[in-house]
């Protein structure tokens, strides 16, 4: 399992960002400003959209504390990601200056859609009064690169469809049409310090492919820690706030170990092998490690009908498939309404499935305490008796 050395620092920053201004003050006393700044700049680079400026420029990001001013130089040019680089010889097109604590809150605090008055800016900060000719070729690039970097300096709600093509994850636009459903069900968690586990990092046996969906979740859950599990080593996808894990989703012991170490999870997404047995094993092993109020998601339910994945073409024989699991969870949700003479001992799923949202090829399972109590035994179980009792004022 890959270890992310900055994880405790990042967690500390996220926590302080959600607290009072005094928490931010204490944060800067607990840690070196340089270390906090490094985390922030890494985060900005990972959130920036691809630059569109043809002319390469540097954007200077200045972070201020009471004692010091620290500059980072972000290189922006079309066809390359925004990067933190040495000052070098690049042309500095804009200076963007923040109080360190303000930028901590912008990036890691509860999302803010209102962004004026949090920064200072200076166009061509090192150009003298006689530099008009030198500046001219960079004017358009300055505006474009600044817009790119500022888009990375916020936690404004991103468009998931755009993120799927930016980070190359196939959750929208070809075989899968999942992002509107994800947006609907994940949005309420955006401001929380969520722990997300996605089974299936992508790219199968190719050692350098995959990780797109982890990057998308990292961007969407700007206060979250994202974990990816794959049977293949995908440590190339490790980033600040992304931890990749190696393991088999059909091995309950491995899943239990992961959950002990990195859970409980707010959200688990199964986008792994899609072999029906694996989907069911993972649900049994990991659903208990989803916190109450969290979600368990299963993608690509079509394999329930593919014998090559252990599915069944006959919906009447879906017992051992992923769809069979989902169908059984409807009975779990309703288990308190089953007649006691059936002698059902409530299963873990019976006691903890509180909602189901099933879309084409995608299911969201809500976790909580499913214990509202069944309809009481004194309420008549046949329609005519109910009407008679109601007419007499009993119900």
Ligand X SMILES: C[S@@+](CC[C@H](N)C(=O)[O-])C[C@H]1O[C@@H](n2cnc3c(N)ncnc32)[C@H](O)[C@@H]1O
Report, in Å, the least distance between residue 253 CB and ligand X.
13
Query: Taking the CB of residue 29, how many other CB atoms lie within 10 A of it?
Result: 8
Report, in Å, the least distance between residue 358 CB and ligand X.
19
The residue among 184 and 206 lying less far from ligand X, judged by its C-beta, is: 206
Q: Per-residue string for binding with ligand X, 174-213, x by CB under 6 A?
A: ------------------------xxxxxxx-----x-xx
| Residues 363-392 within binding reach of ligand X (CB under 6 A) | none
| Residues 212-231 within binding reach of ligand X (CB under 6 A) | 212-213, 229-231
Q: In what side-by-side order are the strands of the sheet with 120-123?
A: 83-85, 69-76, 57-64, 92-99, 120-123
- Alpha-helical segments (H) within 18-111: 21-30, 33-47, 100-108
Q: Figure out which of the listed residues 266, 271, 350, 366 binds ligand X, where binding follows CB under 6 A.
A: 271
| Residues 235-264 within binding reach of ligand X (CB under 6 A) | 248-250
The residue among 124 and 287 lying less far from ligand X, judged by its C-beta, is: 287
- In this structure, are residues 16 and 23 in contact, taking their beta carbons and an 8 Å threshold? yes
Q: How far is CA 232 from CA 104, 154, 179, 300, in A?
A: 35, 33, 26, 20
Report, in Å, the least distance between residue 203 CB and ligand X.
5
Report, in Å, the least distance between residue 199 CB and ligand X.
6
The residue among 46 and 144 lying less far from ligand X, judged by its C-beta, is: 46
**Rounded Cα distance, 171 and 336, in Å:** 36
Assigned token pair, 240: 């600040």
Rule CB under 6 A: is residue 310 a binding residue for ligand X? Answer: no
**Would residue 344 be called left, alpha or beta, if left means φ above 0 and alpha means ψ between -120 and 50 degrees?**
beta
- In this structure, are residues 312 and 318 in contact, taking their beta carbons and an 8 Å threshold? yes
Assigned token pair, 69: 């001013």
Contacts of 114 (CB under 8 A, 6+ apart): none
Residue 360, classed as helix, strand or coil, is coil
The residue among 144 and 250 lying less far from ligand X, judged by its C-beta, is: 250
The residue among 165 and 292 lying less far from ligand X, judged by its C-beta, is: 165
Q: Is 227 a catalytic residue?
A: no
| Residues 121-180 within binding reach of ligand X (CB under 6 A) | 169, 171
Choose, from 274, 289, 335, 352, the residue flagged as catalytic: 274
Q: Figure out which of the listed residues 278, 280, 335, 352 binds ligand X, where binding follows CB under 6 A.
A: 278
The residues annotated with a catalytic role in the active site are 274
Q: Which residues bind ligand X (CB under 6 A)?
A: 169, 171, 198-204, 210, 212-213, 229-232, 248-250, 271-273, 278
């Amino acid at each position: 399992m890959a270890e992310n050395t900055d994880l405790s620092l990042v967690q500390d920053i996220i926590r302080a960002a959600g607290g009072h201004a005094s928490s931010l003050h204490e944060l800067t006393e607990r840690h070196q400003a340089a270390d906090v700044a490094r985390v922030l700049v890494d985060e900005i680079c990972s959130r920036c959209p691809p630059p569109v400026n043809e002319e390469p420029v540097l954007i200077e990001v200045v972070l201020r504390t009471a004692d010091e001013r620290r500059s980072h130089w972000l290189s922006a040019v079309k066809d390359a990601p925004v990067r933190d680089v040495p000052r070098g010889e690049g042309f500095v097109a804009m200076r963007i200056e923040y109080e360190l604590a303000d930028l901590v809150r912008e990036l890691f605090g509860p999302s803010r859609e209102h962004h004026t008055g949090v920064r200072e800016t200076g166009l061509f900060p090192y150009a003298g009064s006689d530099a008009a000719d030198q500046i001219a070729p960079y004017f358009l690039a300055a505006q474009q690169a600044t817009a790119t970097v500022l888009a990375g300096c916020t936690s404004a709600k991103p468009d998931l469809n755009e993120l799927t093509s930016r980070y190359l994850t196939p959750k929208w636009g070809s075989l899968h049409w999942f992002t509107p459903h994800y947006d609907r069900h994940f949005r309420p968690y955006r401001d929380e310090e969520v722990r997300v586990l996605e089974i299936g990092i992508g790219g199968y046996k190719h050692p350098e492919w995959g990780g797109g969906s982890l990057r998308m979740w990292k961007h969407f859950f700007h206060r979250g820690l994202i974990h990816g599990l794959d049977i293949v080593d995908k440590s190339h996808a490790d980033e600040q706030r992304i931890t990749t894990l190696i393991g088999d989703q059909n091995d309950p012991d491995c899943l239990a170990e992961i959950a002990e170490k990195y859970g409980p999870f707010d959200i688990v997404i199964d986008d792994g092998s899609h072999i029906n047995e694996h989907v069911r094993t993972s649900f049994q092993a990991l659903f208990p490690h989803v916190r109450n109020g969290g979600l368990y998601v299963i993608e690509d339910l079509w394999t329930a009908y593919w014998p090559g994945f252990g599915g069944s073409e006959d919906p009447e024989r879906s017992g051992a498939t992923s769809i069979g699991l989902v169908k059984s969870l409807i009975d779990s949700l309703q288990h308190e309404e089953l007649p006691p003479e059936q002698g059902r001992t409530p299963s873990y799923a019976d006691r903890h499935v509180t909602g189901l949202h099933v879309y084409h090829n995608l299911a969201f399972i809500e976790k909580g305490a499913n214990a509202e109590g069944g309809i009481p035994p004194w309420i008549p179980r046949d329609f005519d008796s109910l009407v008679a009792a109601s007419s007499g004022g009993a119900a």
